[in-house]
Amino acid sequence: MQKSLSVYDSDGSTFAPLVVIELVSETKEEAIAWLLNRVRDKQQDGGAELLVEQLTPGAQGTEKDNPNVYVVGASWQRLLYGAEDVGLFKEFKDGSMRGFTYANKHNFKEFQGDGDGFLSMAECQYIIKHGLDNLRAKDEAHVPGYPKMKLYPGKSVIRRMQSKGILVQVFPLHEKEELKRLSFSWFKKIKLSFQPLDDIRHYFGEGMALYFGFLEYFTLALIPMALIGIPYYLFDWEDYDKFTVFAGFNLVWCTVILELWKRLSASLAYGWGTLSRKKAFEEPRPGFHGVLGVNPVTGRAEPLYSNAKRQLRIYLLSVPFVLLCLYLSLYVMMIYFDMEGWALMIHDEEPTFWTGLLLFIPSIIYAVVIEIMNLIYRYAAEFLTGWENHRLESTFQNHLVLKVLVFNFFNCFASLFYIAFVMQDMVLLRQSLATLLITSQILNQIMEAFLPYWLQRRRNKKAHKRMIKTMEDKELPLSEQVKLEADMSTYLGTFDDYLELFLLFGYVSLFSCVYPLAAVLVVLNNVTEVYSDAFKMCKVFKRPFSEPAANIGVWQLAFEAMSVIAVVTNCALIGMSPQVKSYFPESETQLILWVVGFEHFLLASKFILTFVIPDVPKHIQIKLSRLEFESLEALKKRKMLEASGIPKTAK
Amino acid sequence: MQKSLSVYDSDGSTFAPLVVIELVSETKEEAIAWLLNRVRDKQQDGGAELLVEQLTPGAQGTEKDNPNVYVVGASWQRLLYGAEDVGLFKEFKDGSMRGFTYANKHNFKEFQGDGDGFLSMAECQYIIKHGLDNLRAKDEAHVPGYPKMKLYPGKSVIRRMQSKGILVQVFPLHEKEELKRLSFSWFKKIKLSFQPLDDIRHYFGEGMALYFGFLEYFTLALIPMALIGIPYYLFDWEDYDKFTVFAGFNLVWCTVILELWKRLSASLAYGWGTLSRKKAFEEPRPGFHGVLGVNPVTGRAEPLYSNAKRQLRIYLLSVPFVLLCLYLSLYVMMIYFDMEGWALMIHDEEPTFWTGLLLFIPSIIYAVVIEIMNLIYRYAAEFLTGWENHRLESTFQNHLVLKVLVFNFFNCFASLFYIAFVMQDMVLLRQSLATLLITSQILNQIMEAFLPYWLQRRRNKKAHKRMIKTMEDKELPLSEQVKLEADMSTYLGTFDDYLELFLLFGYVSLFSCVYPLAAVLVVLNNVTEVYSDAFKMCKVFKRPFSEPAANIGVWQLAFEAMSVIAVVTNCALIGMSPQVKSYFPESETQLILWVVGFEHFLLASKFILTFVIPDVPKHIQIKLSRLEFESLEALKKRKMLEASGIPKTAK
């Protein structure tokens, strides 16, 4: 980490500002003083033992600026202890990854001198966030000055202030020099190369790096498919019955790439030290509310909410709501088919150029409507999942992902399934697939990168000018930088990015055999996606806190579910191809039985493959077992020493 | 534990003998002396710190008796340390289950006074076995007196002597009083009641208790099915198209009972302290051989065997062999159908009483042949799996189970599948199912309990007389008891018992809708099975070492795979019923598509159900999380204390 910026702390010594806390401008003095004291207090007194100072407004500061902006840093000592506390894994002298401990610090590979530079800035910021999040109320009944802002022993102070709205935001600062280097190697270089995943992880953390790793892996995995697809598309344009081989290829492809990704992701996570990291005990999420009671696990006072009530809310409201939305989506789909038929009728009556154009209108409208419905549903799903009042952030996320996934899948693919299996019209399927894919890609690129960028430009033209200046002027004062970054949009996590990949994976794995160009389109989309995502992370959004992650989590499951559906779909498409049908000229029943048998065989093989291929590569498995064995041995040795010592006195 | 038996150790004090070691009678003196010294040595010197004495022959001792029989015991101190060492969980004062530690011993619920009686005899024997197994060579290059019996540092001494044949057996002693009480409450009582699972666990350990628990659970779960089956059988005897409802019931039943068993088994295992017990590092199995190298995990000298070679052996020999056996089994099946047709032809030509009897002969012969083939294959599979040279006992077991399961499944059910789906003859299916089920049940009961008992009686009539005496005469001297038990057969584990249950589960879940009496037969079989298994455990076999187990392991997976197959089979049977066929009078294709769709829906629901139903009941989940949380907190506190201490000196 470079100490390019520094502020003076109360002792007069300087510290590097890492994290910014912004309170609303009218916050009461006593609340601020109390919070700052708690942040500065020693850890054994229940404080966070961090350094915090009010940001002194720079030369360009105006009256309008919020004065309640604070920068937080920490001593190296505190950061190193914090690294042990959050359970950071670092490379040991012998090349293995081990949990960092302060006592053992000199045995870690990159630890030199007093350890300056041992932790990346993102790690330091994560440690500070952990310290702030774990700042808990002691005996305070409420936040000083705010009698309504109730506290109870053990409640996270920062979370309560955030949920009650006096804490506007807590965000980590960008590091201009490093960001510049990262931007250059990531998306400013013209040369074709892999993404600098280690640098991304260094700057943005493991969760983000895994997303970009998966995006790159997915793109590379698509290339063979695209290469096979192009000649298919060029030479067999009107020959719809040659897709059996392609469907077979699809089947194998989508199983194999997901299994290999698991292994690759384990390798990455091992190298980044998150693979064997233990999860800390999860605290209730900020939005969780309930009657104050005693948590049966921790024995601490905490709001409790009956699980039965939550289940009732889920099954009596959320599930019917989702089903209703699915029905609505089906209804819209039917309207689309009516429109399609109506356009076709007009075109057939009097074919002109304009009616020819009219033929494309329903598909485009439908694609736009799908995107809008997905967007609206997303808000409804978030609201509903919040209302279900889940205790943990992880359960909340799982329920949200499930809701959104089911609807988006249905919304995007229902019409294609209808065309493929009810209408059995391969020409229309190909046409719809192409329209849906291209329209949704264009819409996505606009919504995702250009819209936020443009909105921000509009919202804060002045700030933008400053930002441009930032790029050139390294000597921008801290107060200016903080103000600039505070105004940037907040990155809401990788959810939408993964969702987009999930739908693209669906288009490719489910139906690409009828439209071999799909893989090519997705590859092109992904390449621009890398650039636009990289751009938005570096230029559009506030720096996010790094999120330690060992895998892509629930998304692995979602992609695997999709690959199972792909097996079923591709088998059905194979069964419907005239090529295969010609083998069973007499009996359709025979054909169906064979296809169903083949499909069951494939599903069983897929299941067995998942068991047979180990999720973690052998060499990493050995390293992990070695660590485990060593800790077992150490425990045994310790016990043996105790045992040989105590009996003599006990006897 | 009752100290009903005792021998004098070298210090002249008495100890309770727990485990017997038998060496071949011509073992060299120096090897014996060396082994006994190693067993008696202190743990810090690499010994087992156990008490061991030669068994003094009793009054009836003859010249023929092997003099090299040793009894092993341990001091209470040693057993308590051992309990900590093997990671035993015991009930804590607050009612939760915690890992026992010597330092904390007085905080455990049943620990009174000096702790005598705190550990069950089975636990003490397990601790001694663990101590003996972990007796490792230090610098010895070979067993003294046997230059060919190579050792290397870290090699388990007992295992080497066992695999080279100078150690005949190591077995734990029965405890007559306790065994008598257990036998009475288990199978001598006439009253209908649940099995005394806690007592079984107390005497035989968790693995055995879980088997009997599962057997009982499975029997109870079958009762509703049997109750529905009886009227079906009585009133709809000739009405083959009413089985749709029964097939539907089957589907739900086999999914639900397996999910519920998981929860029940977790509850049992929690109460027995095995649920959260950590697995120790696994040493190579006794039969494993290879070139001496360095284990990459432990860094110890150990035989190594290339994984590539093992894979070659598996895929080039084992897999083709299994496939060949499957083909052979298919061939035998075809001969059976030929015989069946031939018998039918003779009967049709000149129907007499004898030709009527002839009709049953092929089925009975086939059932017997199946049992014989299963038995022969079993030996072949064991040989092959041994030859594959797996390093760990657990991998060996998994490969063996897989081989045996696939073949037994195929062998037992292939003919039924053929009759059901190729011949589509429901009358023959019912008849074959009944013959197979009844014949194999009778054969099994004979092979399993009566045959070993009878063989033993024949082999050792004198010993049997003594044994009868044992039952009455409590004052039988130790030497007599040891001799008697040493001659009893060795129990080879629960493998065959589970396999039998697995096949019965298959008969019931796959086809019972065409023969509703199957559930009734299986219930009857299981009731007698409980008694015969209990009898053989208490009277026929040597006491086995207790095996800590948290679940039924790979068998859970096997039963779940069977339940998936049951979904497919039952859907197909439903689709073939005239009742359902009448809904689609015109199009068979429509019918098949509906059935396939329904089947996919069921499979998906089953998959989702497995996710949704938690494997561990909520109240146990809370207890487990509380323990985990407490240990996290304790660690944090310790670190905080260190952190607040060290910086002052470090700064």
User: Chain B neighbours among A 336-355 (CB < 8 Å)?
Assistant: none
Judging contacts by C-beta atoms under 8 Å, the chain A residues touching residue B77 are 647, 650-651
User: Is residue B109 one of the residues assigned to a domain?
Assistant: yes
SS3 B641: helix
Which are the contacts of A412, defined by CB distance < 8 A and separation ≥ 6?
A370, A374, A436, A440, A503, A506, A507
pLDDT band at A2 (very low <50, low <70, confident <90, very high): very low
Backbone angles phi, psi at A475, to 5 degrees: -95, 25
Q: Is the pLDDT of residue A458 over 80?
A: no
User: What integer is the mean pLDDT of A88-108?
Assistant: 86
Asked if A156 and A142 sit in the same domain, the reply is yes
pLDDT band at B141 (very low <50, low <70, confident <90, very high): confident
User: Is residue B311 one of the residues assigned to a domain?
Assistant: no
Q: Chain A contact for B648, CB < 8 A?
A: no
Residue B44 per-residue DSSP state:
G
* pLDDT, position B451: 74
Asked if A469 and A486 sit in the same domain, the reply is yes
**Residues B154, B168 contacting (CB under 8 angstroms):** no
User: Is residue A266 one of the residues assigned to a domain?
Assistant: yes
Nearest to B592 among A593, A626, A644 (CB): A593
* pLDDT, position B6: 52
Q: Is the pLDDT of residue A468 over 80?
A: no
Q: Is the pLDDT of residue B616 over 80?
A: yes
Q: Chain B contact for A279, CB < 8 A?
A: no
Mutate to test the interface with A, among B596, B616, B623, B644 (most CBs of A within 10 A): B596
CA dihedral A20, A25, A29, A34 (to 10 degrees): -30
Tell if the CB–CB gap between B281 and A643 is shorter than 8 Å.
no
pLDDT band at A550 (very low <50, low <70, confident <90, very high): confident
Q: Is the pLDDT of residue B450 over 80?
A: no
Helices (H), A206-295: 206-235, 243-271
* pLDDT, position A445: 77
User: Is residue B340 one of the residues assigned to a domain?
Assistant: no
Nearest to B593 among A103, A592, A651 (CB): A592
Q: Is the pLDDT of residue A648 over 70?
A: no
Place of tokens 């996320």: A397
Asked if B197 and B122 sit in the same domain, the reply is no
Which tens digits make up the pLDDT trace of B298-325?
Answer: 887 788 888 899 999 999 999 999 999 9
Asked if B594 and B641 sit in the same domain, the reply is no
For residues A13 and A346, which has the higher predicted lDDT (pLDDT)? A346
* pLDDT, position A269: 93
3-state DSSP of B67-114: CCEEEEECCHHHHHHHHHHCCCEEEECCCCEEECCCCCHHHECCCCCC
Asked if A460 and A522 sit in the same domain, the reply is yes
pLDDT band at B177 (very low <50, low <70, confident <90, very high): confident
User: Is residue A326 one of the residues assigned to a domain?
Assistant: no
Of B155, B173, B191, the one marking the end of a domain is B173
pLDDT band at B240 (very low <50, low <70, confident <90, very high): low
User: What integer is the mean pLDDT of B43-51?
Assistant: 85
B52 is written with which tokens? 């061991």
Of B173, B202, B219, the one marking the end of a domain is B173
Residue percentage of chain A with pLDDT more than 90: 24
Asked if B433 and B494 sit in the same domain, the reply is yes
Asked if A542 and A439 sit in the same domain, the reply is yes
Q: Chain A contact for B588, CB < 8 A?
A: yes
**Residues B301, B152 contacting (CB under 8 angstroms):** yes
User: Is residue B445 one of the residues assigned to a domain?
Assistant: yes
> How far is the C-alpha of B521 from the C-alpha of A590, rounded, in Å?
37
Q: Chain A contact for B634, CB < 8 A?
A: no
Mean pLDDT, all residues of chain B: 83
User: What integer is the mean pLDDT of B554-568?
Assistant: 92
Of B153, B173, B193, the one marking the end of a domain is B173
Residue percentage of chain B with pLDDT more than 70: 90
pLDDT band at B245 (very low <50, low <70, confident <90, very high): confident
* pLDDT, position B494: 87
User: What integer is the mean pLDDT of A339-346?
Assistant: 87
* pLDDT, position B194: 80
Which tens digits make up the pLDDT trace of A147-181?
Answer: 888 888 778 888 888 888 889 899 999 888 888 88
User: Is residue A355 one of the residues assigned to a domain?
Assistant: no
User: Is residue A541 one of the residues assigned to a domain?
Assistant: yes
* pLDDT, position B229: 80
* pLDDT, position B349: 87
Range of the domain at B600: 183-305+389-615
Mean pLDDT, all residues of chain A: 83
A427 is written with which tokens? 């020409």
Asked if A150 and A241 sit in the same domain, the reply is no
Tell if the CB–CB gap between B628 and A281 is shorter than 8 Å.
yes
Asked if A62 and A209 sit in the same domain, the reply is no
Judging contacts by C-beta atoms under 8 Å, the chain B residues touching residue A625 are 297
A117: left (phi over 0), alpha (psi -120 to 50) or beta: left
Q: Is the pLDDT of residue A230 over 60?
A: yes
pLDDT band at A637 (very low <50, low <70, confident <90, very high): confident
Look at residues B367, B313, B358 and name the one whose alpha carbon lies nearest to residue B336.
Answer: B367
Query: Using N-to-C axis directions, what is the helix angle for A495-511 and A243-271, rounded to 10°?
Result: 150
Domain count, chain A: 3
Count of residues in chain A:
651
SS3 A387: helix
Q: Chain B contact for A612, CB < 8 A?
A: no
Residue percentage of chain B with pLDDT more than 90: 25
> How far is the C-alpha of A524 from the C-alpha of A517, rounded, in Å?
11
**Residues B627, B276 contacting (CB under 8 angstroms):** yes
Beta strands in B316-473, from DSSP E residues, in sequence order: none
pLDDT band at A125 (very low <50, low <70, confident <90, very high): very high
User: What integer is the mean pLDDT of A578-604?
Assistant: 86
pLDDT band at A227 (very low <50, low <70, confident <90, very high): confident
Q: Is the pLDDT of residue A3 over 70?
A: no
pLDDT band at B4 (very low <50, low <70, confident <90, very high): very low
User: What integer is the mean pLDDT of B624-642?
Assistant: 76
Which tens digits make up the pLDDT trace of A19-41?
Answer: 999 999 888 889 999 999 999 99
Of A468-477, B247-256, B568-577, the poorest mean pLDDT is in: A468-477
* pLDDT, position B3: 41
Judging contacts by C-beta atoms under 8 Å, the chain B residues touching residue A281 are 628-629, 632
Q: How far does B94 lie from chain A, in Å, by closest CA? A: 13
Asked if B162 and B220 sit in the same domain, the reply is no
* pLDDT, position B266: 93
Look at residues B21, B52, B15, B25 and name the one whose alpha carbon lies nearest to residue B36.
Answer: B52
Of A43-47, A637-641, B538-542, the poorest mean pLDDT is in: A637-641
* pLDDT, position B36: 92
* pLDDT, position B529: 86
* pLDDT, position B640: 64
Which tens digits make up the pLDDT trace of B392-412?
Answer: 888 898 899 999 999 999 988
Asked if B251 and B397 sit in the same domain, the reply is yes
3-state DSSP of B322-337: HHHHHHHHHHHHHHHH
* pLDDT, position A4: 41
* pLDDT, position B22: 92
Q: Is the pLDDT of residue A293 over 50?
A: yes
Q: Is the pLDDT of residue B356 over 50?
A: yes
* pLDDT, position A332: 93
Judging contacts by C-beta atoms under 8 Å, the chain A residues touching residue B102 are 642-643, 646
Which tens digits make up the pLDDT trace of A201-224?
Answer: 999 999 999 999 999 999 999 998
Q: Could you tell me which residues are beta bridge partners of residue A91?
A: A97
For residues A3 and B239, which has the higher predicted lDDT (pLDDT)? B239
Please give the interface size between A and B, counted as residue pairs whose CB atoms are below 8 Å apart. Answer: 79
Judging contacts by C-beta atoms under 8 Å, the chain A residues touching residue B44 are 640, 644
Asked if B169 and B215 sit in the same domain, the reply is no
Judging contacts by C-beta atoms under 8 Å, the chain B residues touching residue A611 are none
* pLDDT, position B238: 54
Judging contacts by C-beta atoms under 8 Å, the chain B residues touching residue A600 are 568
> How far is the C-alpha of B550 from the C-alpha of B186, rounded, in Å?
23
